[in-house]
Each structure stands twice: as C-alpha cells, then as structure tokens.
C-alpha cells in the first residue's frame, strides 16, 4: 500500500525513469523537435522527463528521496481538489542574425539572465552546475532558491531544476535551434512550477505580480531585443504631464 | 519644456513637463522646430483608445535638430537637421530588414498588450497610446527618439520645414496607399476621404501613373483641394457614391479603391445609426462605413487599399462581395523609413511640394484650439503645423 501510493506521488518521474527505449526516443524528439512540447508531455512532469533524458546520473534528493505515507496522501488530496497543480509555460521566439552559439553563450552564463528577466534580482553561479537565484516579489520579501543544471548540450540545450527545499519548485529548459530558410534561431523556453501546497495558479500569479507565462514571454522578448537591436526598448524615465 | 498632453476625450493641455533624457544607447534628443496634428491624433482626442493615460504627450509628425546623442549612435551628429518617422524601428529584425518597418519586432515595450488582441504586435509609435509603446510624442519642444541611427533622416538644407515635415507620416502614408493600389496604365482609383492622407494619396496615385482619381468627401474646401490635385470629386452628402462611381467608370467600378478615412467614418442614415449605436455599447469598436462602400464599389479583381486606421472590431463587412469579386486588400501602418529617400528626391525635383496642404500655422501653445478646429473642420482647417 505504502509503496503503491508513493509511486503515484512520484508517478511522472518514476514513469519516465522506467520509460521504454521507444518512449525515451519519443520524449527526446519532442524536446528536440518543432512541436508543442507541453502538449506531448500531457500527464508527465517536465522535471521527470528532463531527469530521465539526462540519464538519471544526478542524485536528486528531492526526487529520489522516499516520500512518507502522509506526504503521499496529501498528494492525492491535492490532485483531487486541483490544488498544488503544476503551472506550465512554453514560449518561443525567433532571433535574427545570431547563431545558436552566441545565444547559448549568453544563456549559459546564468548571471546574465536578470538583464532580460526583470523579475529576477540576481543569479549567482556557485559551482559549474549550481546557482543561487533571487526573484523579486511585488509584495513582501524576495524568494530565493538553488538550481542545478541537469543537461548542458553545447549550443543546443540547457535544462535545470531547483534543488530540494525550494519554496517554489521549478524546472525547465531552453533550446536553441536554427530555423529553416535562414529565418534565424528559434529559442524555446519550457518551464514547470510546483507552487507550495494550497496555492493555486491564480494566487501564484498574484504572488509573482504577473503570470509566469507573462514573465517568460517578457524575458524572451527582452532577450530578443537585446540580441537583435542591442538594447531593450523602454519608456521608463520619459516625461509626461500631470497624471 | 512645453508639451501637448492628453487629458481625456476632447481635452488636451499645454503643460510644462521635464525635458526628455537619453534612456538607451541608440537614443537621440531632438529639439523640435515643426510639428503637426494628424487625423490619427483625432482618434485619441475622440477617446477611442482605452490605453491612453492622463498626461501622455501627443504627436508623431515632427522634425528638428539633434541636440544630444546616445553612446551607440555613430552615423549622426549634434546639429543635424532631421525628420523623424512616426514608426519606431530597430533596423535589424526580420521585418526591418525586409523593409517592413512598421512591423518592427523590437520597438514596442508593451507588445504583450497588443498580442492579447492581435496575436502579434506592430512597431512602437510616437505619442500613440500605450498599446504602441506609450512613447512620449513630438507635440513638444523636445523629444527622445529611440534607434536614432536608423530612425533619424538627415534632410537637405535647401528645403524648408514645411516642405519636409510631412515625410514623417502623411506623405509616405498616401504614397504607400497608392502603391498598394497596384496601379496599371489606364487605371481609375477611387479615394474615400480628402483629409491630409487622402490629399497625398490622390497626388501619389498620379505620380504612380493613374489615369483618373475620383475623390470622395463632403467638406467643400477639402473637395476643392482634391480637385486642385487633379481629382474628380464626389460629395457623399449629395450623391449616391456607389452608383456614381459605376456610372463614371463605364459600369466596371474603379480598378482600385482606397479607404483614407478609417474607423471614425461618418455614416449616413440607418447604417450610420446602427454603427454609432454598436460603438456606443462597445459591440463594435470601429465604424467601417467606408470600407463597406469601397468593397462593393471596387471592380472585380481589383484592390482595396486601407491606409485609414482601425484598432479593434468591425461589423457587417461584405465578405461575400470581397470573396466572390476576387478582391485583394492591402493595408498597414506606413513603412515610413522605406519612403524617406525616394520622396525627398521627388520633392527636390519639384514633382510635388507637400506644403500645399498647410492651412494653419500656430504656436504650440495654441494646440487646444488647433485640435478643435481640425476636428470640426472649422475655419477651413485641413492641416495645422505647430511651432514650438
Ligand atoms: N496607415 C497609416 O500609417 C496612417 C498614417 C496617418 C494617418 N492614418 C489614418 O488615415 C485616416 C485619415 O487621416 P487624415 O489625417 O486624412 O484624417 P482626417 O480626419 O483629417 O480626414 C478624414 C476625412 O474623411 C472624411 N470622411 C468621413 N467620413 C467619410 C465618408 N463616409 N466618406 C468619405 N469621406 C469621409 C472626412 O470629412 C475627412 O475629410 C485616419 O484614419 C488616420 O488615422 C493612417
Ligand atoms: Zn499621423
Ligand atoms: Zn525592427
């Protein structure tokens, strides 16, 4: 019984860890391909898929650690009430006149990200694969977490996940892919957030000031502006009459 | 500095506001020598854009002298005399590099707002609501111009401000609208609206080889100005326009038709009442009276060119006529940058002198009065140039 529930709690991750070779290929090509990634993932957790594709070589306490029976029941309750559901975002932009190499290089130095992701206060790289993230909240304190790079394919893909005990568990990947007929490089970001139990999507969005979807969209747009035009368009600081 | 600020429907004030500053490396600050009021400004003045904020600085047709440059602008100098295209364009994105400047990907900081409604965002525009970026406009003493290296166009000394000012918008707009008509030798072009855009469209259609231009409006002095530009005219208050156009073109209809009026077209009778009512209850945001007439009037296989601005939704477009007559529609905010050089050359060669349009020259301080007479076509007003 305990084993059974525990499996359900971690079902997505475990399923993908146990995925057949054919399934592995399907998920791999989904992440490398031109389709809508999240549609193809459906019930699976992004984190689980990313972990399994990375070969499971990384020890993940948060994922691999045994859940207690109580946690498992809580998990069942949450999914039954629609609480604790993950929030998923997928956004793509095409960037002109920049090779996947250049774009990858910018992103691989995670400390660059606050330049384009305005909700981030800072990212500090603490080891070749670890980093410490601080994000602004519209009210109250900033939130912080540590993240680990799960996969790093030069000039193609970087995936990461928050490590255990993050307030907002999150994982995702960014992919750089030349588009056909010299239309530039397609940059896709797919993210999954697991807000703390009891916080549903709308509340979560309020907590962040804008929806996670909007955050990623804005971040990608700023990235594109910076790479194509050399600067991020703004009107902050311009004059106006009496408001 | 002094600037013309929006304060709600039919309300603009000249206020003292802080001077603009360089905000990005590719910016410049321009000291404005001449600035105009556009028909597009009237849509804001009339309260049709819900993303205007109190105190927004208006104006997108302006020129002047560079007084300050951002660190990344190398091809311009302080003191250069320049015109400023109303569309803000980065010069390097997919669209800019294909000469589709008003579709620039990188100049609208509020692109997300537009994407909710339109799917994708056009370029940023000066002084034209927060939907197109919320950029402070040029009905002021100074303006900040982003992407100054590609946005500012140096003009020849021998031409006056009055000859050059309309390169910022309405001359290219009329010209592009005529180009969009795909004019062939022998063609007749019908132009709805004899405002500034219509006036340039008429003259551009001739420059591009039209045999006849028929212009439609009801304001006598605007019709006269259209005639002076070579057009035959129809007063829509006195004539059934569709029938008249058919009779004037041997029953074929005009080869191309142009809507140089846009979303606030004046509609007569029951149809006009219907659109006003729909707009009032927000079932429809724009009044497409002219677009409807133009589609029905156009000859089979012809082109519908739409420089007139629409921002939202319209009702009862004769899609059956459009489809079954095999028409083509071409439209867009003007790709101003594309036309700066060729149209300046046409002015230099004396093929056209854009200053014909100006009926009023007023100090910037008189902007509130200028908006009133332009909106109500009082005092024979066709185009106002403001002097800061
Ligand atoms: N596409 C662009 O980039 C661009 C640029 C500038 C202006 N515009 C738009 O072009 C349009 C015209 O601008 P303008 O400065 O000439 O404005 P305007 O308001 O001065 O002129 C509009 C004219 O249309 C006439 N009119 C109204 N209803 C009519 C009808 N039913 N039939 C025939 N004529 C009618 C009016 O009497 C007026 O003379 C506006 O919608 C403006 O926003 C578009
Ligand atoms: Zn204009
Ligand atoms: Zn561009």
Residues B21-41: pLDDT tens digits? 999 999 999 999 999 999 999
> At CB < 8 Å, which residues of chain A contact B?
94, 96-97, 183-184, 214, 217-218, 221, 224-225, 228-243
For residue B333, the 8-state DSSP code is S
* A233:B124 CB<8 A: yes
- If you write DSSP's letter for every residue of B130-171 in order, what string do you get? GGGT-B--SSBSEEEETTHHHH-EE--TTS-HHHHGGGGTHH
* Cβ-Cβ contacts under 8 Å for A81 (sequence gap 6 or more): none
Q: Decide whether any atom of ligand 1 lies within 6 Å of the B170 Cβ.
A: yes
Among protein residues, the one with the nearest Cα to ligand 1's atom 42 is: B40
CB-based contact A238 B107, cutoff 8 Å: no
Determine the atom of ligand 1 nearest the C-alpha atom of B38: 15
Can you tell me the mean pLDDT for B334-350?
A: 98
Query: Considering the entire predicted model, what is its pTM?
Result: 0.91
The DSSP-derived string for A115-170 is: HH-TTEEEEEE-SSSEEEEEE--SSS--EEEEEEEEEEETTTEEEEEE-TT-SSEE
Handedness of CA A109, A114, A117, A121 (dihedral sign): positive
Please give all residues whose CB falls under 5 A of ion ligand 3, grouped by chain where several chains appear.
Answer: B 89-90, 93, 96, 104, 106
B171-331 has which fold? Rossmann fold (3.40.50)
Q: Is B193 in the pocket of ligand 1 (CB under 6 A)?
A: yes
User: In angstroms, rounded to a whole number, what is the distance separating the alpha carbons of residues B248 and A208?
Assistant: 63
**Tens digit of each residue's pLDDT, chain A (243 residues):** 333 333 333 444 444 445 677 888 888 888 888 788 888 887 788 888 888 887 644 434 343 334 444 454 555 545 544 445 788 899 999 999 999 999 999 999 999 999 999 889 999 999 999 999 998 877 777 888 999 999 999 999 999 999 977 777 899 999 999 988 888 999 999 999 887 666 665 666 666 667 788 889 999 999 999 999 999 999 999 999 999
Closest ligand, as measured to the CA of B35: 2
Residue A14's pLDDT is what?
42
Name the phi and psi angles at B188, rounded to 5: -110, 130
Which residue lies with its CA nearest to atom 26 of ligand 1? B193
- What ipTM does this complex have? 0.94
Q: Please, what is the end-to-end C-alpha distance for chain B in angstroms?
A: 10
Domain definitions of chain B by residue range: 2-169+334-387, 171-331
Chain-chain contact of A224 with B19 (C-beta, under 8 angstroms): no
Q: B77-89 burial, b for 16+ CB within 10 Å, e for fewer? A: eeebbbbbbbbbb
In the prediction, which pLDDT does A195 show? 74
Structure tokens at B101: 């400047």
Q: Which atom of ligand 1 is nearest to the CA of B265?
A: 28
DSSP state of B365: G
CA distance readout (Å), A190 to A83, A157, B336:
21, 11, 37
Query: Tens digit of pLDDT for each residue in B96-150?
Result: 999 999 999 999 999 998 998 899 999 999 999 999 999 999 999 999 999 999 9
> What is the per-residue pLDDT for A198?
61
d(CA A168, CA B121): 32
Strand, coil or helix: A78: helix
Q: What is the pLDDT of residues A200-218, one digit of tens each?
A: 656 666 666 677 888 899 9
Q: How far is CA B259 from the centre of its chain?
A: 12
**Ligand 1 pocket mutation, candidates B59, B100, B195, criterion most atoms within 8 A of CB:** B195
For A216, the closest chain B residue by CA position comes to: B112
Nearest CA in chain A to B88: A233
CATH ID of B2-169+334-387, from 3.40.50.10300, 3.20.20.450, 3.90.180.10, 3.40.50.2300: 3.90.180.10
């Amino acid at each position: 019984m305990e084993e059974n529930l525990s499996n359900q709690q971690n079902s997505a991750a475990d399923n993908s860890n146990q995925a057949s070779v054919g399934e592995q290929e399907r998920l791999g090509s989904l992440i490398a391909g031109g389709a809508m990634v999240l549609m193809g993932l459906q019930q699976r957790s992004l984190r689980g898929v990313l972990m399994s594709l990375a070969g499971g070589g990384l020890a993940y306490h948060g994922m691999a650690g045994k859940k207690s029976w109580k946690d498992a029941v809580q998990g069942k309750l949450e999914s039954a009430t629609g609480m604790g559901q993950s929030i998923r975002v997928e956004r793509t932009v095409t960037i002109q006149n920049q090779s996947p190499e250049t774009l990858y290089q910018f992103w691989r130095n995670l400390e660059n990200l606050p330049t384009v992701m305005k909700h981030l206060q800072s990212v500090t790289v603490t080891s070749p694969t670890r980093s410490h993230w601080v994000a602004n909240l519209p009210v109250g304190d900033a939130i912080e977490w540590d993240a680990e790079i799960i996969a790093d394919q030069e000039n193609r893909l970087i995936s990461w996940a928050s490590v255990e005990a993050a307030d907002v568990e999150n994982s995702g990947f960014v992919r750089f892919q030349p588009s056909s007929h010299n239309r530039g490089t397609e940059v896709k970001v797919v993210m999954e957030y697991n807000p703390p139990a009891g916080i549903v999507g709308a509340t979560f969005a309020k907590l962040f000031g804008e929806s996670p979807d909007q955050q990623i969209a804005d971040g990608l747009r700023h990235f594109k502006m910076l790479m194509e035009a050399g600067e991020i368009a703004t009107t902050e600081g311009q004059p106006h009459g009496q408001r | 500095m002094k600037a013309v600020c929006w304060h709600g429907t039919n309300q603009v004030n000249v206020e003292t506001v802080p001077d603009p500053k360089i905000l990005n490396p590719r910016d410049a600050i321009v000291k404005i020598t001449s600035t105009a009021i556009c028909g597009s400004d009237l849509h804001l003045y009339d309260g049709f854009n819900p993303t205007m904020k109190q105190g927004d600085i208006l104006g997108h047709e302006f020129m002047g002298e560079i007084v300050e440059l951002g660190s990344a602008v190398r091809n311009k100098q302080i003191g250069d005399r320049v015109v400023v295209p109303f569309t803000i364009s980065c010069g390097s994105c997919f669209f800019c590099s294909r000469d589709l400047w008003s579709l620039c990907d990188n100049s609208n900081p509020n692109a997300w707002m537009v994407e909710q409604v339109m799917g994708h965002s056009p370029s940023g525009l000066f002084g034209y609501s927060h939907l197109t970026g919320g950029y402070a406009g040029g009905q002021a003493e100074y303006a900040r111009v982003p992407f100054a290296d590609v946005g500012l166009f140096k003009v020849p000394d021998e031409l006056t401000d009055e000859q050059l000012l309309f390169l910022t918008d309405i001359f290219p707009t009329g010209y592009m609208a005529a180009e969009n008509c795909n004019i062939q030798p022998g063609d007749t072009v019908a132009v709805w609206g004899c405002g500034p855009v219509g006036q340039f469209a008429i003259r551009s259609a001739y420059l591009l080889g039209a045999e006849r231009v028929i212009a439609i409006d009801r304001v006598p002095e605007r019709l006269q100005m259209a005639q002076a530009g070579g057009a035959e005219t129809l007063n829509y208050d006195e004539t059934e326009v569709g029938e008249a156009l058919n009779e004037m073109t041997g029953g074929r209809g005009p080869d191309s038709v142009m809507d140089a009026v846009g979303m606030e077209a004046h509609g007569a009778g029951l149809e006009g009442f219907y659109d006003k009512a729909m707009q009032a209850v927000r079932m429809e945001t724009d009044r497409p009276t002219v677009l409807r007439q133009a589609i029905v009037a156009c000859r089979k296989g012809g082109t519908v060119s739409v420089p007139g601005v629409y921002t939202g939704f319209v009702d009862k477009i004769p899609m059956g006529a459009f489809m079954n007559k095999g028409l083509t529609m071409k439209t867009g905010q003007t790709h101003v940058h594309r036309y700066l050089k060729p149209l300046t050359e046409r002015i230099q060669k004396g093929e056209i002198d854009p200053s014909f349009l100006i009926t009023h020259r007023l100090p910037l301080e008189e902007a509130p009065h200028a908006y009133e007479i332009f909106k109500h076509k009082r005092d024979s007003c066709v185009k106002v140039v403001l002097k800061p």
